[in-house]
């Protein structure tokens, strides 16, 4: 099952893709894709709907972030072997965790805004795990029961703010629009092997990242169990699982985003994003 949200920013409605690939409006069935609506029972019930009875979503409609009400975004650093090599860092022996503000979330085709004074805005295509059932101290053998699905996530980062301004990484990770999310949340039954998904990112048509979730150091199930030791996982939380090699900071010389560029990204089976880059406060 593929689900999404559509409509103007801040006024999105829930939707789903029917068996014929048509976008259907679920606004008359559920309030939104958030919290309890992401539970496996609710998703199974909606999977049984005759979607042909639901209104079609207009073809030109904006797609917003694929879920609402995100409580927290837990990010994993240096979780791809090739990315650790390009950063010149040893492979971590435990997952490196940090938090990203939910206020950074934006739609999969919305603009990425360069904050005033920013000069090193970078890209990071990532697999996002969306939690559908609350839990903590999860047993490794049962962690997948807590997964609502997977989505495409871009952990946009301002490297000078992250690494050169003192303190922890948050200042470089949390600007508005620094977390394009979606276009779809895809339920686990539609993914043959979550540890064998291609993921890629392009800037102005130049392929910068081209990797696979096979290269993760810590896989999806291991990350879920690990994170739950340190904080409860709640429906609607997102775990962003790290990025492969090819980030701008890792190029020689480094390359960063500027207004007027476009960032396209995709993950096999999860859809694609296409984000224009603008100066904060500027129109498109």
Tens digits of residue pLDDT in 199-217: 999 999 999 999 999 999 9
Between CA 181 and CA 272 the distance in angstroms is 10
State how many domains the chain has. 1
Q: Which residue has the higher pLDDT, 222 or 140?
A: 222
pLDDT over 70 percentage in the chain: 99
Q: Is 93 part of any domain?
A: yes
What is the pLDDT averaged over residues 70-98?
Answer: 92
**Average pLDDT taken over every residue of the chain:** 95
pLDDT per position as a tens digit, 245-270 = 999 999 999 999 999 999 999 999 99
pLDDT digits (tens, 9 = 90+) for 57-80: 999 999 999 999 999 999 999 999
- Model pLDDT, residue 84: 83
pLDDT of residue 282: 54
Domain membership of residue 20 (yes or no) is no
Task: For the chain, give the percent of residues with pLDDT over 90.
Answer: 85
**Residue 94 in this model has a pLDDT that exceeds 80:** yes
**What was the pLDDT predicted at 51?**
83
Distance CA 43, CA 148 (A): 8
pLDDT at 206: 98
Range of the domain at 93: 68-279
> Mean pLDDT over residues 25-42, rounded?
92
Does any domain span residue 57? no
**Domain presence at residue 117:** yes
65 neighbors 153 (Cβ within 8 angstroms): no
Q: Where does the pLDDT of residue 166 fall: very low under 50, low under 70, confident under 90, or very high at 90 and above?
A: confident
Tokens of 242: 């790290």
* CATH code where residue 273 lies: 3.90.850.10
Residue 33 is assigned to a structural domain of this protein:
no
Instruction: Report in angstroms the alpha-carbon separations of 154 from 2, 58, 67, 107, 201.
Output: 19, 26, 15, 11, 9
- Is residue 41, in this structure, part of any structural domain at all? no
Contact 79, 217 (CB under 8 A): yes
Domain contains 241 = yes
Between the two ends of the chain, the Cα-to-Cα distance in Å is: 33
SS3 labels along the chain: CEEEEECCCCCCEEEEECCCCCEEECCCCCCCCCHHHHCHHHHHHHHCCCHHHCCECCCCCCECCCCCCCCCEEEEECCEHHHHHHCCCCCCCCCEEEEECHHHEECCCCCEEECCCCCCEECCEEEEEEECCCECCCCHHHHHHHEEEEEEEECCEEHHHHHCCCCCCHHHCCCCCCEEECCCEECHHHCCCCCCCEEEEEECCEEEEEEEHHHECCCHHHHHHHHCCCCCECCCCEEECCCCCCCHHHCCCCCCCCCCCEEEEEECCCEEEEEEEEECCCCC
Which residues, 6+ apart, have CB-to-CB distance to 58 below 8 Å?
Answer: none
161 lies in some domain:
yes
**Confidence band for 88, pLDDT divided at 50, 70 and 90:** confident
Tokens of 188: 């686990």
Using the predicted structure, report yes or no on whether residue 52 has a pLDDT greater than 90.
Answer: no
Peptide bond into 21 cis (omega under 30): no
């Amino acid at each position: 099952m593929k689900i999404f949200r559509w409509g103007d920013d801040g006024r999105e409605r829930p939707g789903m893709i029917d068996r014929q690939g048509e976008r259907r409006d679920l606004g008359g069935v559920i309030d939104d894709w958030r919290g309890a609506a992401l539970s496996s029972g609710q998703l199974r019930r909606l999977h049984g709907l005759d979607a042909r009875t639901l209104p079609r979503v207009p073809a030109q409609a904006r797609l917003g972030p694929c879920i609402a009400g995100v409580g927290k975004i837990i990010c994993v650093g240096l979780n791809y072997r090739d990315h650790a090599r390009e950063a010149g860092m040893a492979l971590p022996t435990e997952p490196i965790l940090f938090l990203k503000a939910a206020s950074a979330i934006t739609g999969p085709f919305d603009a990425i805004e360069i904050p005033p004074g920013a000069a090193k805005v970078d890209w990071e295509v990532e697999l996002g795990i969306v939690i559908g059932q609350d839990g903590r101290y999860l047993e490794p053998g049962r962690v997948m029961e807590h997964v609502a699905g997977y989505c495409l996530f871009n952990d946009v980062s301002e490297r000078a703010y992250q690494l050169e301004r003192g303190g922890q990484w948050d200042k470089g990770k949390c600007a508005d629009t620094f977390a394009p999310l979606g276009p779809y949340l895809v339920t686990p039954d539609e993914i043959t092997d979550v540890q064998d998904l291609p993921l890629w990112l392009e800037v102005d048509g130049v392929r910068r990242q081209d990797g696979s979730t096979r290269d993760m150091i810590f896989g999806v199930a291991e990350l879920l169990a690990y994170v739950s030791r340190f904080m409860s996982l709640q429906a609607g939380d997102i775990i962003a699982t790290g990025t492969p090699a090819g980030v701008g900071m890792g190029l020689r010389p480094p390359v960063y985003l500027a207004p007027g560029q476009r960032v396209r990204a995709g993950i096999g089976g999860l859809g694609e994003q296409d984000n224009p880059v603008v100066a904060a406060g500027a129109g498109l």
